[in-house]
Amino acid sequence: MTLAERILIRLGIAPKPMFDVAYGIGKAKTILVGNKLGIFEKLSGGPLSAQELAAELDISEYGLSLLLDALWGVGYLERNQGKYKNAKVAQKWLVESSPQYTGNLLRHIDDLWESIGWLDEAVKAGKPVRNFYDYLSKHPTAWRNYTLGQRDIAKAIVGEIVSKVKLPPQARTLLDLGGAHGYYSVAFCRKYPDLTALVIDFESPVAIGQEVVNQEGTDERVSFKVGNYINDDIGSGYDVALLSSIVHGDPPDTNIATMKKVYGALNPGGIIVINEILSYRGKKESESGLLFALNMLVNTPRGKAYSYDVVRGWLRDAGFTSIRRVDLKRLPAYSLLLATRPT
């Protein structure tokens, strides 16, 4: 979108709904398809023409040329004398060798593309047309995209989280509920040499998480257990409990039970760290949180984006004290909720 278009929309001269919908959907799908076809990865080595790239990808040169021009138009490619190369944004975020790579997350979002088309049916019924977790169980590739996509998010914010969360001096054990990829546990163990971590999650994400931890060289300190934190015994004697992006997936009664369960699993003086997309950003309702709530409606029968006040109430009722909130800057949609089990 050009500066002139933005000004005309802001002045109410150009039709904002048309640009929001037509431009937004087209731009999103263009980037998703570019990522899915491996275009950014292929161009990471240098410029290629549409003909050269089509031959490497074994796809239509005509169709690819249209996509390449669209990716140039939205700022993800550069074009010069018939050849294309990655723009800085693509080279930084969509090339796998980059430390900031987010391509897995985009593949996960592409997996969600069909279900968002059923939003009208989900709104009318007040429940999803399909259960995303059932879909994941039948599609191993989607499980992988989801798990590694969550790892992409973790890579973006874990440095800020570790800097904001000060563990108790006596901390030796960390419980990572629904931690899947294990990347948060890896980061905490790296900062605290005496810390070990246990990740509890379902079988498919645990297998992927084992790969991640092995690649990071922390497999001796980060271990995994296949299980369901809602129904299964999670153990006890922990100094830290991490709940990252799981609260939004459960209904209130389950979250209340989980908070109480975690409270009982922590040692006195232990802390709980909740990393979540909340429905409010400070005192204002969050656009990302409100849109995310619709995503939850479409994909899961149980969860939603909750407000800080609601989650704080659950923590307080479970017995936690010193409850506070930290809004993250690296990914503004996310916030931390920190609380302590009294000594």
- Same domain, yes or no: 164 and 77: no
pLDDT at 1: 64
Is 120 among the domain residues? Answer: no
pLDDT at 18: 75
- Give, in order, the Cα–Cα distances in Å from 12 to each of 1, 3, 9, 17: 16, 14, 5, 11
pTM of the model: 0.89
pLDDT at 305: 84
Is 288 among the domain residues? Answer: no
Q: What is the pLDDT of residues 185-222, one digit of tens each?
A: 999 999 999 999 999 999 999 999 999 999 999 989 99
- Same domain, yes or no: 66 and 164: no
Q: Which domain holds residue 36?
A: 3-97
Is 65 among the domain residues? Answer: yes
Is 145 among the domain residues? Answer: no
- Same domain, yes or no: 176 and 324: yes
Alpha carbons 52 and 67: distance in angstroms, whole number:
14
Question: Domain boundary at 70, 97, 124, which?
Answer: 97
CATH number reported for the structural domain that contains residue 27 in this entry: 1.10.10.10
CATH number reported for the structural domain that contains residue 264 in this entry: 3.40.50.150
pLDDT at 282: 63
> Which residues in the chain come in under a pLDDT of 70?
1, 281-283
Is 202 among the domain residues? Answer: yes
Is 125 among the domain residues? Answer: no
Q: What is the pLDDT of residues 284-322, one digit of tens each?
A: 777 778 888 888 888 887 778 898 999 999 999 999 999
Alpha carbons 234 and 337: distance in angstroms, whole number:
21
pLDDT at 83: 97
- Same domain, yes or no: 92 and 162: no
Number of domains in the chain: 2
pLDDT at 117: 87
Is 108 among the domain residues? Answer: no
pLDDT at 4: 78
